[in-house]
Each structure stands twice: as structure tokens, then as C-alpha cells.
Amino acid sequence: MTTNYPVGITRRSAWLRMIGFHLFLLASLILTLFPFVWMFSTSFKPSGEILSGTLSLIPISPTLEHYRNLFGAVNLFVNLWNSIIFSLVLTILSVILNSMAAYAFAKIQFPRRERLFALLMMTMMVPGQVTMMPVFLILKYAGLLNSFAGLIIPGSVSVFGIFLLRQFMMDIPEEILEAARIDGCSEIGIFWKIILPLSRPVIATLAVFTFIGAWNEFLWPLIIMLKESNYTLPVALANLNGQYNTDWGLLMAGSVLVVVPVILVFLTAQKHYMKGIAAGAGKE
């Protein structure tokens, strides 16, 4: 650790610097965590306490009332299962399809490649809200309404994902691929054995983003699904609101329920951010 510092700096001042640095990080952390902690603590406060007008962080008389109500109000396991299926399948599909396309755009030569890519980029500039109605009608004619296929397929390829992965893959040295080709490796082999492992951090990033996007999606599942038993968690939770009044405790308990799985996914993806194979392979 101390080898990082130029010679001449004593061990002690290095330690002091390190502590100061961590205190700074900790302060920033508190700023970013505040709403999250508030959401968490509110879900344990009785309603009267929530509406007391002061936003205290620690519940005075903690209660599990809202979580109990949540189980009564929502068909929790069905909605949770729907959300898991939707987000997980979409994430897997999106990683596969986007990384294949990104590989083609980054490392395979074919006519008009740059133009095709520019065309894809242009589509990102059209706000998604305008295409909602046409996509809905296409799904209707395809008979995919009220099904998970209809929910998943339209979002499984994203120009964002292709762009993100392509930018990363372009930096993978051409020499590695050339060497593999000389060794008789097929394009599929190169993709599977070289490109994918080297792109692990960015694929993990895409997976996290896709998962979060799907997990929090509200309007699309609501419109596509015609049965309540097909609702995902955010849609089911939105039903807890009245037109004018809000049960804050219940709402926050629901929000906690929505956020926790996302954190788990993020922590899983974290592991792929370690320097390892990527750094080793770059040496050549």
C-alpha cells in the first residue's frame, strides 16, 4: 500500500492522509445515502409519527405494521416473481443480443458499418414516449399483449447497450484477435473466449443498468398486462396510492422492497469490477 507513495513521505503522514481521505468519502456518502436511509426508517414509523412534520431519521416507536399491511394489500409473491422473471430474462437476453451486435460493430469489418451504426445512434434521439403507441399496436397484432414475451422482447435490444459495449470492445487490442485467428479460432470462438471475458466489467455494468431499468419500469408493464396476476412489483405498489391521499408508511415499505433486490444485483455485479484477467491479457 505505502509503495504507492513517493519515497520520503513517512508512514505516519500517509496514514493521516488516508484517514482524511476516508472521512471526506464518508461525508459524501452520508449526503447520497440520506434519502435512502429516510425511506428505510420511514417504513418502520407509525403513520402519526411520519406526519409529525419533522423528518427524523430514527423511528421513535418502530413498527412492522406497514410491512404487514403490504402483505395484505398486494399479492406479493406473484408480483415479486413476475418482476424477477421479467428483469432477469430481459437482462440475460439483452446482454447476449447487445454484446453480439456490439462485437460486430467493434471488431468485424462489413460494408457500411459506420453508417449503420450512425443510424442506430440517431434513433436514440427520438424520445421513447412517442413510439409507445405504435409498439403497443404492433404487439397487439403480434398477439403478444398480456404476455411476458411482449413485455421483454421490445426492450431486449437497446442502442444504448450496443453503444456502451462497442466503445469498450474497440479498446481490446486487435493483436489478440489476430493471434487467435492464426491459431484457427473461429469468430464465434473469439467472441466467446476472448471478447466476452475481457469485457466482463462493462457487461456487468450493462447487466446492472438493464436490470434496474426493467425492475423499476412502471408504465410499460401496466399497459401491456391485462391481468392483475401479471403485474410487476412497481405496478402493484402504485395501486396502494389513492387519488389524493398517500399512505406514506406503506409506500416506503413498498419502496424498500423494490430497492433491496437491486442492491443485491449490484453487489453481485461488483465482483466483476476487480482487476484480473483484463489487466493480465492486456500485457501481451
Whichever of 64 and 142 has its CB closer to another protein, that residue is 142
Least distance from another protein to the Cβ atom of residue 272, Å: 8
CA distance 231 to 221: 7
Q: How many residues bind another protein (CB under 8 A)?
A: 146
C-alpha cell at 13: 503522514
Closer residue to another protein, CB minimum distance, 62 or 271: 271
CA–CA dist 172, 202 (Å, integer): 12
Give whichever of 67 and 266 is closer to another protein, judged by the CB atom.
266
**222 near another protein, rule: CB under 8 A:** yes
**137-196: which residues touch another protein (CB under 8 A)?**
137-138, 140, 144-149, 152-154, 156-157, 159-160, 162-164, 167-168, 170-171, 176, 179-181, 183, 187-188, 191-194
> Measured from the CB atom, is 64 or 187 closer to another protein?
187
Quote the least distance from Cβ 213 to another protein, whole Å: 11
Question: Which residue shows C-alpha cell 403478444?
Answer: 144
Q: How far is the CB of 64 from another protein (least distance, A)?
A: 18
- Out of 59, 63, 80, 136, the residue judged to bind another protein by CB under 8 A: 136
Q: Of 94-113, which residues contact another protein (CB under 8 A)? A: 97-98, 100-101, 103-104, 108-113
Contact letters (x/-) for another protein, 245-284, by CB under 8 A?
xx-x--xx--x--xx--xx--xx--x--xxx-xxxxxxx-
Crossing angle of helices 113-123/159-170, nearest 10°?
A: 140
Half-sphere CA count of 162, side-chain side, radius 13 A: 23
First to last CA, the chain: 26
Give, as ranges, the residues between 28 and 67 that touch another protein (CB under 8 A). Answer: 28-29, 31-36, 38-39, 47-48, 50-55
User: Which residue's CB is nearer to another protein, number 64 or number 121?
Assistant: 121
Binder to another protein among 11, 12, 130, 184 (CB under 8 A)? Answer: 130
Q: Between the CA of residue 254 and those of 49, 233, 247, what are the distances in Å? A: 18, 9, 11
Measured in whole angstroms, how far is the alpha carbon of residue 123 from the centre of its chain?
21
Q: Does residue number 207 form part of the binding site for another protein (CB under 8 A)?
A: no
Q: Angle at CA 107, nearest 5°, toward 103 and 109?
A: 115
Q: Whose Cβ is closer to another protein: residue 80's or residue 157's?
A: 157
How far is the C-alpha of 83 from the C-alpha of 77, rounded, in Å? 10
Q: Dihedral of CA 269/211/94/168: which sign?
A: negative
Residue 2 beta carbon to another protein: minimum distance, rounded to whole angstroms? 9
Helix (H, G, I), strand (E, B) or coil at 284: coil
Residue 78 sits in the site that holds another protein (CB under 8 A) = no
Count CB neighbours of 113 within 10 A: 13
CB of 261 to another protein, least distance (A): 10
Q: In whole angstroms, what is the distance from residue 215 CA to residue 54 CA?
A: 31
CB 152 within 8 A of CB 210: no
